[in-house]
């Protein structure tokens, strides 16, 4: 009986199981393709790349392994989300193992930030995995609608309705505490 268990254990070790990789695709480059400005990345947690509304940018993500045949497929689905402009489904093209590029035009009149997802299914706004910072930090990367000064200097975020999280009333934590006393 003991010998059979050892043989079975040895056979299981020969066959690789499912990948235990954590999602870790990173936004490594944002390049204007029609005269737009770009600045960044900046931010201690979420990382922001400041970009201009109405301009087109080529974005590059790397470390894609969770879809696209382990990062070798010719293309994958990506999505740029926006609460004010709507979500945009796109196709990213493979330029090397685990490296994909795609173009995105920030809508004219855009405000707030634009989170990016990969391994998406077109038309399904809840599909995909968040693209992370370029430095390996486990926070998300966003495009951020901004205005710029002369020579693409002094990026200033464009804010609008819905750009901040839901405000919390100061009494909220006090109320929670009463339940656990």
For the stretch 18-28, what's the b/e string if a residue is b when 16 or more beta carbons lie within 10 angstroms of its beta carbon?
Answer: eeeeebbbbbb
pLDDT tens for each residue of 85-140: 889 999 999 999 999 999 999 999 999 999 999 999 999 988 999 999 999 889 99
pTM above 0.95, yes or no: no
Q: In this structure, are residues 128 and 77 in contact, taking their beta carbons and an 8 Å threshold?
A: yes
Structural domain contains residue 36: yes
Give the pair of three-digit tokens for residue 63. Answer: 């470390």
Question: How many domains is the chain built from?
Answer: 1
Show the domain range for 99.
Answer: 16-163
The CATH number for 95's domain is 2.60.40.10
Residue where the block lists tokens 């693209």: 131
pLDDT tens for each residue of 32-76: 999 999 999 999 999 999 999 999 999 999 999 999 999 999 999
Q: Is 2 helix (H, G, I), strand (E, B) or coil?
A: helix
> How does residue 176 score in pLDDT terms, banded at 50, 70 and 90?
very low
Give the Cα-Cα-Cα angle 42, 67, 120 (nearest 5 degrees).
Answer: 65
């Amino acid at each position: 009986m003991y010998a059979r268990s050892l043989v079975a254990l040895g056979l299981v070790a020969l066959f690789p199981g499912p990948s235990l990789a954590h999602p870790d695709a990173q936004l490594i480059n944002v390049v204007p393709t029609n005269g737009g400005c770009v600045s960044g990345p900046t931010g201690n947690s979420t990382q922001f790349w400041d970009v201009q509304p109405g301009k087109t940018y080529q974005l590059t993500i790397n470390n894609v392994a969770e879809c696209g045949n382990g990062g070798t497929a010719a293309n994958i689905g990506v999505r740029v989300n926006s609460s004010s402009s709507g979500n945009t489904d796109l196709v990213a093209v493979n330029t090397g193992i685990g490296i994909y590029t795609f173009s995105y035009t920030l809508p004219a009149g855009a405000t707030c930030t634009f989170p990016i997802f990969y391994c998406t299914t077109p038309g399904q706004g809840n599909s995909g995995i968040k693209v992370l910072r370029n430095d390996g930090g486990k926070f998300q990367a966003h495009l951020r609608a901004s205005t710029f000064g002369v020579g693409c200097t002094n990026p200033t975020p464009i804010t609008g309705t819905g750009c901040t999280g839901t405000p919390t009333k100061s009494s909220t934590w006090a109320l929670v505490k009463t339940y656990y006393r």
